[in-house]
């Protein structure tokens, strides 16, 4: 089947132009000012953005083991609605993705039920217990794109050094959840005035910053590729900036919620604001934005963390950490960053498509002739009120519920196939 986008604003990380785009046999076959294709499905893209499909290198699909929170089917449906065409899922499932059997389950189920491309991430340590390294070579041979104990830090520095050393030999990316649990303790929100005012235990920023420093030093000495997950503080950003200048092979990500919401959102004890790392301060947000602009922080990742209502409908201290992020990611970035002139749409592509694809080592994230037709069509001017009850994700845990956001995903294509459009919903 041929699909022809007419007069769309094609946006790449380094250029944008209004023109036509023709898709055939899963590939982009032509980009030109005027294209005629009588046998093609013609889509009027005037006034719309045609972007490379978003690549999310950090999400949680909960399957296997926590299907009441999310399944591969519902998670990939939510991803498609959010404009994501490739997602990398973390290994903190039950059982953990630390062996070939669980890995094959995820891969086969993603093929059968998935709406978008699913790339599994394997565990650094067996069972995420931080005691014994997983069989990294076996995991790589069977298709993992990175290693992570996300949700937990590898607290043993010697073990983390060995993990980075082996990862270096295998040319594997290590994604680090940086949190010194001896510092965070039983904290549930950012440490500071708001935590004191609300009577909640705080999670100090230094818990993140200390571990970033440690892992960056270990990466320097081992030569490993290190990626820092969900950066949330000003000092963390400064540390990453400094270590990059030192030549450390380090990349980093930030989430939409850490770029848009502060600790003040916790006022009222809305458990949908409970996330790890916690929502920080306005000063931290501005530092993170500066980090995006100067290349210190390489990409935006959702850390999509869906939960069942029973996980969140409890008192704040007992609630699970996490925000359901697929379906609001682009509109949050558009509303809080693009509309406020912090970044432009070329930056959005760089941060949400090109760079995460490059870090993961996959051939995605750019619109050009011959490329796989993973594409998202966006109306940047359309505004809507977030309604969590309309989420495809089983996780309705969003702090944006009821907020007005600007920017609507009109259509998502994976391999030249329309898998979602805003009028008909999921199409496969």
The binding site consists of 58, 60-62, 92, 150, 177, 230, 276, 303, 307, 321-322
Q: Give how far the C-alpha of residue 345 lies from the chain's centroid of Cα atoms, to the nearest Å.
A: 17
Distance CA 121, CA 141 (A): 12
CA 386, 387, 389 angle in degrees (round to 5)? 155
Q: Which residues are annotated as a binding site for substrate?
A: 60-62, 92, 276, 307, 321-322
Angle between helices 282-294 and 234-245 (to 10 degrees): 20
Tell me 183's DSSP state.
H
- Identify the CA nearest to 128 among candidates 106, 104, 99, 100: 99
CA 1, 420, 22 angle in degrees (round to 5)? 35
Virtual torsion, Cα 352, 426, 392, 121, nearest 10 deg: -50
Say if strands 250-254 and 299-300 run parallel, antiparallel, or are unpaired. parallel
Q: Which residue in 56, 272, 303, 311 is the catalytic one?
A: 303
Distance CA 255, CA 303 (A): 7
Distance CA 213, CA 219 (A): 10
Contact between residue 205 and residue 220 where contact means Cβ atoms under 8 Å apart: no
303 annotated active-site: yes
Helix, strand, or coil (residue 91): coil
Distance CA 229, CA 149 (A): 11
Catalytic residue numbers, as ranges: 303
């Amino acid at each position: 089947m041929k699909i022809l986008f007419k007069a769309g604003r094609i946006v790449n990380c380094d250029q944008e132009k209004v023109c036509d785009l023709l898709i055939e046999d899963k590939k982009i076959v032509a980009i030109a000012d005027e294209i005629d294709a009588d046998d093609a499905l013609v889509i009027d893209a005037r006034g719309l953005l045609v972007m490379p499909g978003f690549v999310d290198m950090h999400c949680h699909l909960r399957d296997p083991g926590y299907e009441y929170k999310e399944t591969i089917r519902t998670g990939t449906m939510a991803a498609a609605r959010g404009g994501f065409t490739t997602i990398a899922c973390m290994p903190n499932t039950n059982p953990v993705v630390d062996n070939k059997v669980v890995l094959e389950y995820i891969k086969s189920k993603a093929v059968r039920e998935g709406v978008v491309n699913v790339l599994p991430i394997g565990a650094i340590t067996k069972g995420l217990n931080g005691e014994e390294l997983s069989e990294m070579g076996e995991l790589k041979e069977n298709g993992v794109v990175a290693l992570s104990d996300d949700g937990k830090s590898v607290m043993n520095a010697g073990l983390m050094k060995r993990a980075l050393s082996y990862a270096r030999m295998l040319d594997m990316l290590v994604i680090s959840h940086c949190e010194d649990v001896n510092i965070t303790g039983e904290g549930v929100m950012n440490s500071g005035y708001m935590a004191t005012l609300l009577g909640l235990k705080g999670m100090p920023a230094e818990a993140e910053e200390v571990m970033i420093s440690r892992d960056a030093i270990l990466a320097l000495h081992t030569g490993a590729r290190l990626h820092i997950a969900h950066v949330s503080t000003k000092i963390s950003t400064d540390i990453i900036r400094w270590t990059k200048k030192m030549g450390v092979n380090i990349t980093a990500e930030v989430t939409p919620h850490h770029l848009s919401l502060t600790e003040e959102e916790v006022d009222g004890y809305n458990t949908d604001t409970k996330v790890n790392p916690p929502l920080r301060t306005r000063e931290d947000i501005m530092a993170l934005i500066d980090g995006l602009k100067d290349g210190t922080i390489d990409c935006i990742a959702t850390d999509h963390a869906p939960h069942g209502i029973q996980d969140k409908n409890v008192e704040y201290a007992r609630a699970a950490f996490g925000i359901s992020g697929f379906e609001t990611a682009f509109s949050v970035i558009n509303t809080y960053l693009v509309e406020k002139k912090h970044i432009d749409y070329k930056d959005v592509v760089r941060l949400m498509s090109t760079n995460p694809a490059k870090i993961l080592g996959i051939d995605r994230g750019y619109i050009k002739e011959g490329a796989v037709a993973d594409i998202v069509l966006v109306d940047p001017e359309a505004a809507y009120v977030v309604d969590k009850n309309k989420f495809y994700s089983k996780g309705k845990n969003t702090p944006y519920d009821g907020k007005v956001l600007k920017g609507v995903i009109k259509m998502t294509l994976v391999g030249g196939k329309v898998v979602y459009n805003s009028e008909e919903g999921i199409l496969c």
